Structure 1
Amino acid sequence: MTAFSILDLCPIIEGGDARQALAETREMAKAAEDAGFARFWLAEHHGMAGIASAATALVIAEAGHATETIRIGSGGIMLPNHAPLVIAEQFGTLEALFPGRVDLGLGRAPGTDMATARALRRNLEAGAQSFPNDILELQAYLGEPQDGQRLRAVPGEGANVPIWILGSSLYSAHLAAALGLPYAFASHFAPDQLFEALEIYRTGFKPSAQLDAPYVLAAVMGVIAATDEEAAYHFTSVQQNFVNMRRNARGKMPKPVASMDEIWTEMERTMVEHTLRFAIVGGPDKARENMARFLADTGADEIMVSIPVYAIEARLDAVRRFAALRDSL
């Protein structure tokens, strides 16, 4: 059976605040564990009114305290925003708190707008260009200490936290293959190069100390509800989000609406539907049909579902329904 996992963006909804978002993320983590999901990951974003996971390691710790067995981690940490030693210490600390449960997914995008990226990185070009070397440095900090090693991550050394490469481009596929690391593709918002990237990764994969064969995780947006109509209604929240991003008018997660017709232009509708074309949205039957097709097309070893739903009750219901879908495949 294909493994299923949850990507949580710790959404701040209209009428809500970060405190509420963090509490709901704890609920989501517990629901994911109760439903038998493999992992519960959180993503690093900065300067976004609708996302409360900027201090990603802290929010991962909250998910860890809310659960007992599910793997927790990052999908991902934007490594060029940080010194590798700092991330080794953070994730070494998480591994000490939650032994054998922590994953470290790494990306090279800023996770924000360019002005905020400059405030985070100071030197944007150096950060992106050093990404492969920063991964190797991070692996060394998290590995067993070597004789004469001057720089040490404490906590961190010997933690051997599994590292994943996250990406939405062919560059990330080449890098994950060359380093022999598991590969998570962001097809939930960047579908265009999915199949080419997976082919590059699988054919170019070189076994490593961490992994002896390619391992693919593919991400999808998803909403399952009692009916197709109810799922489509909840999905209008993320559709509005993407329209707002295109208009450079980002805000908190909007309430769902009965129809998008008066909100988006025809060009915006085409753009959003293209971007979200792998989304799994519908009642149980439609969702199962679409997920089975996506699995057949990608051959993914694991599916990670992001559930962009405004109301926590509907979000939790979707978690349970995705677990039932998984068990029916």
Structure 2
Amino acid sequence: MDEYYGMKIKFMTRGGSIHGILKGLDEDKELFMIEIGEEEFKLDVNDVVDMEPEDEEGSTLVGSKVDVKDEGSKDSKVDSLIEEKLKEEGVPVIEMGLKEEGVSKDPLQPLKETLPPNDTPTYPLPSTIPHTQPPHANSFSTPIPYSDYQSLLSLSFSRFGPTKEEFISISSLNLFKLLKSYFSLNSKIDIILGENPLYNSIGLTLGRLLLNNDYDIRVIGSPRNLEIVNYHYLYRENKGITLKKEREDNEFVIDCDNKSRCNINNKKVIFTFGLPPSNTNNINNFIHIALGLGILEFVKDLKEYFLIDGMINERIYKKIGRTRKGMKSINRIKK
């Protein structure tokens, strides 16, 4: 193993692949010491399925392969590979595998910011998108509790489909169709990353779609966990720009879950996927977007909101007493 120290290695794990420089091996704790960018991380030997040396450009060296089976592997502990924040610069390339799990159990909190003045201009929802019927019985327009929503996604990602990656792609495409009715090519749009990895992945994918269609996009924040690093990498590879804070002259804000506590003053329109700001009825320029189904805790105080179709299987809707019959790619829910 010593001959591979200092070399760039592709570590293939049960959750995906990680590219980094092998710095050493802690035989007692069974941990690889890996350098990624300017950071050093620890990787459990038992989580590594295979390893391949790479050249500086990331290509596998012909005829080279590291056998990790003789390292005394045990049953996987499925521990977290990285427990500290990833720096904004030097973000590693990680090829994420599909994980059969639901959304983050993130207890989203309300946004605690001063409300805008009463004379804030109102920006109505596009009239081109028809209203659905008011919520009733088992209609998709009737919201469900957050705990049921987590079960909905878990069943989708692990059993019936779509997979998490498919859900992210479908939701992002439908969001793009909706939001471009608000934006012009001169609009300044900031997408703020929060704590929820699913919402952040959708936000980054949406940002890449807008970027590739010549919109002025900036992503605010950096990856905080492995689940979204690859989405952030793809955004950056398309010449996407990441900032630490909002632009003062931005016109639109897409806040992925309000954990970042965006400034809601003097903004034209604020969109969010997660928990809306408190007292939303007093915020004229706020629009909530639900993904797949409305979450009761998020929409109970809203007069109206958008519902984006993520193509979740009808069998799952039936399991929670709902149906997707009549659902369009973009739905406007009005109470």
TM over 0.5: no
Give 1 or 2: higher strand fraction.
Answer: 2
Higher-helix-fraction structure: 1
TM-score (norm 2): 0.30
Q: Higher Cα Rg: structure 1 or 2?
A: 2
